[in-house]
Chains A and B, each alone.
Chain A
Amino acid sequence: DQQVKQNSPSLSVQEGRISILNCDYTNSMFDYFLWYKKYPAEGPTFLISISSIKDKNEDGRFTVFLNKSAKHLSLHIVPSQPGDSAVYFCAATDGGAQKLVFGQGTRLTINP
């Protein structure tokens, strides 16, 4: 049973525009959420996180929104740059679990 889902396997966005990546979860025990970016042949790199006590967190061009009632989070990248082309993973955890549950990933392609 997939507790974290990224329903879009791929997304293509024009350079300079906004990229929106979505993630849904089913486990109501999850209370901390993270986004990772992954290039081929490299490990995932942490981007941004959000605690369930917040509904928004910003870091430069990256903003994560959390809608607890809908069990949905999204990552906004503004403006999108060619270097943002990568696979993005959403992950979730609960306080004592010491493990991350990942979504399947969304491949983002930024077109010049």
Chain B
Amino acid sequence: KAGVTQTPRYLIKTRGQQVTLSCSPISGHRSVSWYQQTPGQGLQFLFEYFSETQRNKGNFPGRFSGRQFSNSRSEMNVSTLELGDSALYLCASSSGVGTYYGYTFGSGTRLTVV
């Protein structure tokens, strides 16, 4: 079955702009999580959506937001971009059911803010 698809793969934006990233999970998976990877902070949890509802949120400012659609596809939005937002943004797909479940990651979107 198809893996996790993230679009676009690469993005260059100017400080102050906003950006929307997209993630299509594995078919049948209802949970989508977002992570930010930077050299300094490593991989950090942004938020998780399950059946169109945000279930958990990490410690990021309100400029970072997300949503999930009825087909489980998810988008994350970053408004008023700052240079420090340059990172690899990873989406992880899972069933979201049960106590422990596997996460399958997409290849990520590399965002560069100039």
* Chain B, 79-102, CB within 8 A of any chain A CB: 90, 92, 96, 99-100, 102
If A98-B55, A99-B58 touch, does A46 touch B102 (CB 8 Å cutoff)?
Answer: yes
In the bound complex, residues from chain A placing their C-beta under 8 Å from that of B106 are: 43
Tally A-B pairs: CB < 8 A: 59
What does DSSP make chain B's interface, helix, strand, loop or mixed?
strand
B→A interface (CB under 8 Å):
4, 31, 33, 35, 42-45, 48, 50, 55-56, 58, 90, 92, 96, 99-100, 102-108, 110
If A98-B48, A99-B56 touch, does A42 touch B100 (CB 8 Å cutoff)?
Answer: no
In the bound assembly, the distance between CA atoms of A100 and B55 in angstroms comes to: 14
A-B contact pairs, 8 of them (CB 8 A): A43-B4, A89-B42, A95-B100, A98-B50, A100-B45, A102-B42, A103-B42, A105-B43
**Is B42's CB under 8 angstroms from A99's CB?**
no
**Is A98's CB under 8 angstroms from B107's CB?**
no
Q: Give chain B nearest CB distance to A5 CB in angstroms.
A: 10
In the bound complex, residues from chain B placing their C-beta under 8 Å from that of A105 are: 42-43
A63 contacts the other chain (CB 8 A): no
In the bound assembly, the distance between CA atoms of A93 and B99 in angstroms comes to: 10
**Is B90's CB under 8 angstroms from A43's CB?**
yes
A36: nearest residue on chain B (CB-CB)? B105
In the bound complex, residues from chain A placing their C-beta under 8 Å from that of B103 are: 46, 100
